[in-house]
Amino acid sequence: MIIMVRYKEDDYGSFGGITISSDMIHQADLILQSIPYESGTSGKKGTSFAPSALRMISKDMQLISRTGINISKLKIIDVGNVKINPVNGEITRKNIFHSMKYLLEKSNAPIISIGGDHSITFPLIHALAETANSVGIVWFDAHCDLLDEFLNSKYSHGSSLRRCIELKNIEPKNVLLIGTRYFTKEEEDFIQHYGIQELKQADLEKNTNPFTLISEKIQEIASQVESLYFSIDIDGLDPSHAPGTGTPVAGGMTSSKLMQLINNLDIKIRAFDLVEVSPPLDHSGITVKLMLALLTEIIAQIKKSYSIQ
């Protein structure tokens, strides 16, 4: 895999261990950025360490996906860490927004953002909604993240999807929750009132072909919007597969099933994020390794759907 990196001094290493000082975004097949922010989380801390932990093992990344797609020749730009302020969420959200907007305007390449907690997704989608006429959202998570306020904040990781739905160019009918299994009455009422689509984990388990159902739902949304965003919260998985997270919820999907879900998507997705991995809570290291494996599958999906040679 060809890795080209715009290196920043505050990064811990670089993805793949290669650094190139010049900005080569225009050459990228794929753009990777990281956001080591965790002040929006309610659970145990540690998600700010995920980008560094991922870069430390990135040389071990598999270059052939589970379905046999070779990603070794893709040109990936790692633009490093977005500058964050751990005590000022407003400044951090502005920095995330401007970084994402810059990347969207400079390149048509898909963007993968590595968190950090799930509060980072709101400014990322905000930037996409400013540059696209319509945006669809796929939200893989144990939680709905639709609370109006959580932790005395409207911008915590428990409110991030609600803030997204308030943005222009995003209609609730073009939002799909997948794998949810932790519910509040406020969020359930909000989903029903606004017509948000939801495939609860229990519903998926009852369905004889859940991945066909998921694919059809996402295809339907993709046909109605200009750009599609896919957010993956690692706690959407069962904690036996991803123990390194601050808000685990039992009864989730296996890592294999999530990879299968990603593999089945034959549509262009403008941007992904992968959030809520906490290396300090990942005592065996398996969750960070899982994050790296998921990146292989996401990159393979991008190569297939964008027809990159």
pLDDT per position as a tens digit, 244-294: 999 999 999 999 999 999 999 999 999 999 999 999 999 999 999 999 999
**How far, in Å, CA of 262 to CA of 238, rounded?**
17
The residue-averaged pLDDT of 55-59 equals 92
- The tokens for 5 are 């990196």
Q: Given this model, what pLDDT does residue 17 score?
A: 66
Residue 151: predicted pLDDT: 81
Give strand pairing partners of 175.
137
Tokens of 28: 């990228």
Domain tally, the chain: 1
pLDDT digits (tens, 9 = 90+) for 133-159: 999 999 999 999 999 998 888 999 999
Of all residues in the chain, what percent carry a pLDDT higher than 70? 93
Task: Determine the Cα–Cα distance for residues 22 and 143; give it in Å rounded to an integer.
Answer: 40
- For 84-129, the pLDDT digits (tens) are 999 999 999 999 999 999 999 999 999 999 999 999 999 999 999 9
| Residue 253: CB atoms within 10 Å | 23
Using the CB atoms, write b or e for 77-89: b if 16+ within 10 Å: bbbbbbbbeeeeb
- Read off the pLDDT band of 188 (50, 70, 90): very high
Q: Do the Cβ atoms of 233 and 143 come closer than 8 Å? A: yes
Question: Residue 185 maps to which CATH number?
Answer: 3.40.800.10
pLDDT for the residue numbered 22: 47
25-39, 178-192, 227-241: the lowest-pLDDT one: 25-39
Segments forming the whole domain that contains residue 212: 2-305
The dihedrals phi and psi of 296, each to the nearest 5 degrees, come to -55, -45
Average pLDDT, the chain: 93
pLDDT of residue 44: 79
Residues composing the chain: 309
Q: What is the pLDDT of residue 167?
A: 98
